Amino acid sequence: MNRSTMHLPDSSLSTLFRKHGQGISEPYASLPLGTSTGSIRLLKIEPELGTDELLVCQLERVSLGDLPEFDAVSYRWGDESIQKTIIVNGVRLPITKNLWDGMDYFRKHRKAKPLWIDAISIDQKNISEKNQQLLCMKRIYQQAKTVVVWLGAKYCSKQWFVRPLRECIKNIAKEEYWKRMWVVQEIGNATKVEVCLGDEAVDWDTLRKSVPRPHQQITPDSDPFSRLDFTKKDRCNGGCSLTWLLNFHRNAECKDPRDKIYGLIGLATDGHGFPMDYGKNLFEVWIDTIDFVNSHELLSNPPREPIEFYSLIRNLLGGAKLEEPTGVVRFRSGLDDGATGKRRIHRKSYQLGRIMAIGPTMSEIAASVTVDDEWQARMQNEYKGDHLQDAGREYRSLNCMVFRDLRHKLPKLCVLDKHGIKSQSHRGTPRQGHVDEGLTPFSGFTANEPRLAIVSNAFVSNFTPYKLALVPPGARTGNLIYHIEGCPMKKIVMPENRQIAESPGTAIMIRDITEKPRWDDIKKEAASCNTGRSLSTYNINIGPRMLYALLFGDEVGPLQPERSGLRRLVSEWSGRRT
């Protein structure tokens, strides 16, 4: 019986649900790729439609080491809600209509040529296999005889070609296909590219010469086709670095945010060894990217500001979505491996002061006049003269922001459970001054809320530009507060005199909230008040989780208590104040 026209009985359709090995379905269970990164599956489309006008295909396993001849297909999946069925090795398999249209075109115009099509050649439900095939992607598109671009059925209809070919393809550059992130690697690695138009295939050079080109410099904000063509030329002229690719193609689109990173690894000249794993959440991919770039010193040539790059990677992965349940930023227990292991990031830090006393939370102050008075008395006991005036100004400004403008949001503090920080070197001698360790902590109903703290001179001769801070619940008197270079607002709280310290979390200096001074101005102010001496500096190693909290914790949301709870406290002041 002709295989292309055979009738498939109902019993044979049960293979769709037949399982082999570790839950792998047919047609993939019979063609395992194993652990080798050199094995792929190629597809052959039968020249005739089968029963019920279904496309019939045969899938086979080959080794790239045997140099098989095949074409690789580059396409958009299209609307996944509109699906059609094909037969692959006797098994019904759903695919998107756009892919079905392309395969039907290949059946008619590229007969008998084996094809590599990711949606069919890779078991999309098998994360382990997807991770393995990611490593092959570069070789697949490099080794393919031709990378065939399928833009959609409309470009192959006779009605579309009412003008000469050169005129018809001028608007192709506006097609959604060129916005795809994976197109950059697929076209960039290809030796030969053909675009399906009408009954013919147009080669890449003909296409690019027919598309109107902008006269201005190509930038990350240029149209996708121009960016792609520019990248392909760079690839031929020596290659592209990973950091350049990530920035240049930051506007490319993909369904899975992880592909904003993974989709460019195979094109980068310095991306070898990057850990790609679809089983990781977005935050873990952020960590992997920062680790890889730092360990391979990819920001040094050409020099780039690390903090800007870290922010770029976060934005590529979804920005604030990294804090949502799907992204999952979880600060796990145990020393952060960034302190002592491979995952360490070197940053310069400035010691701002020592926690001399820990006070109430803002909720406790709102609920009790007595607590408010006791806290102001504590400030008066610690500060004198101009320093007391500065502390009073910071406190009054904070009260105005929190209690009078209920819409104002303050940054949350990140409580970091035993996250290690390694101090490499320091300048300055800690002051062995008075620390009120006998202070009875303020107590109330907001045990998990950040608390106010008095910050004083950490060094005998040094002046600190800050007087008050909000510190995490785990902070203790005697802890030191550091500013990490490049981090806009959050400060690190650390115990004193330890080479490797466990930080209870991050702090916020009240003056940073109320006045928003520039960091350069703070350094100048400290130097002018300390007869030319600058703030004492440390070189520290911090892990990526701590760095993330410092850089982006400000954006998480309003400081506890939530606005609704604070509004309730304020409205009930008269009845609850003691």
**What does the pLDDT read at residue 237?**
63
pLDDT in tens, 328-380: 555 444 444 444 455 677 788 888 889 999 999 888 888 889 999 999 999 99
Q: Which of 19-33, 161-175, 257-271 reaches the highest mean pLDDT? A: 257-271
**What does the pLDDT read at residue 438?**
38
30/3 Cα distance (integer angstroms): 19
With bands split at pLDDT 50, 70 and 90, how would you rate the model's confidence at 20? very low
332/549 Cα distance (integer angstroms): 13
With bands split at pLDDT 50, 70 and 90, how would you rate the model's confidence at 4? very low
493/495 Cα distance (integer angstroms): 7
Residue 168 identity: C
475/477 Cα distance (integer angstroms): 7
133/127 Cα distance (integer angstroms): 10
With bands split at pLDDT 50, 70 and 90, how would you rate the model's confidence at 319? confident
> Distance between the two ends of the chain, CA-based, in angstroms?
94
Q: What is the mean pLDDT of the chain?
A: 79
pTM of the model: 0.78
The 3-class secondary structure across 249-305, one letter per residue, is CCCCECCCCCHHHHHHHCCECCCCCCCCCCCCCHHHHHHHHHHHHHHCCCCECCECC
**What does the pLDDT read at residue 501?**
63
pLDDT in tens, 48-70: 988 888 999 999 999 999 999 99
With bands split at pLDDT 50, 70 and 90, how would you rate the model's confidence at 406? low
453: pLDDT strictly greater than 90: yes
Cα–Cα distances (Å) from 52 to 8, 77, 89, 517, in that order, read 10, 23, 16, 72
With bands split at pLDDT 50, 70 and 90, how would you rate the model's confidence at 159? low
417: pLDDT strictly greater than 90: no
151/438 Cα distance (integer angstroms): 73
With bands split at pLDDT 50, 70 and 90, how would you rate the model's confidence at 493? confident
